[in-house]
Amino acid sequence: MTIVVGLALGFGLVLCGSPFLWPASVRSGRRRQWPVTTLHDRLARAGLGWISVPALVVVSILAAVAATAATFALVPVVAIGLIAGLAGLVLPTSIVGWRARTRRRAARVLWPDIVDHLVSALRSGLALPDSVVTLAYNGPALTREAFAEFEREYRATGNFGLCVDDLKTRLADPVADRILETLRMSREVGGSELTTVLRNLATYLRQEAAIRSEVEARQSWVMNAAKLGVAAPWVILILLATRPEAAAAYNSSAGVVLIVAGMFVTAASYRVMLGLGRMPEERRWFS
């Protein structure tokens, strides 16, 4: 009976993890490889598309080794050193995620202006590809490089659809996906309502950005206080571990259990705090 229960538990855990281990999403006729694709999109959103995923993994490993060595040299507690190594392992990915979120918040305010530039170019009589090219010169500085690359590719190939796909990959933003797919549809099937659709989209984006900014401003002080509450016990633990008698106690089996349990509680509390306090981000449906 014990074997049957164990097998059932193991099978249930495999089923719970199967969406993450073997995702069913398909892109360009191939199965998406998680988490490689996720890391690649996050690097693109952070403006670090020139960094490969293996390079990020190598930097994470080096950061983990350096954090473990430095912490163990200062605080001779094995458990704290290993936890510091784990923190160093996720630090580069966390920095990339923070940079991606920062750039997305900055771009959220810029997209309505980009749409206005597109509408102005279209109303002036420019062709659709040329209107997109103007954003490499008149658009916000944050997105000029991506549109400049679009211009180079379009001048070389003349394939608007392929260049739009590459531009979506570089921008890696759901708002950009909607705008570019609207432009692609207009070019492929025609229509005279493109400027009206774009103006309505710009109005909606401005309203959404204003609401998000207000909510995030009200939540920021709660989030900062919660982060301080999570970090404070570990600062006190490191200060106590600098004393030889405290280090000896923390190196015992009971001390290791206490530190590891505290790490799991801290990690779970931090994830719950982020999940409750962070506004849901729009997903990329046209990637």
Four-CA torsion 90, 94, 96, 100, nearest 10 degrees:
150
pLDDT at 29: 37
pLDDT at 37: 64
pLDDT at 28: 39
Residues of the chain with pLDDT under 70: 1-2, 4-6, 9-10, 17-37, 191, 277, 280, 285-287
pLDDT at 184: 87
Domain boundaries, the chain: 111-208
pLDDT at 287: 61
Looking at the DSSP bridge assignments, the partners of residue 26 are 31
Residue 154, judged by CB atoms within 10 A of its CB (0-12, 13-18, 19+), counts as buried
CA distance 9 to 150: 51
SS3 per residue for 130-197:
HHHHCHHHHCCHHHHHHHHHHHHHHHHHCCHHHHHHHHHHHHCCHHHHHHHHHHHHHHHHCCCCHHHH
pLDDT at 25: 44
pLDDT at 2: 67
pTM for the model stands at 0.64
pLDDT at 208: 84
* Number of Cβ within a 10 Å radius of residue 227: 14
Q: Taking CA 141 as the corner, what is the angle to CA 140 and CA 146, rounded to the nearest 5 degrees?
A: 95
Answer whether 286's CB lies under 8 Å from 173's CB: no
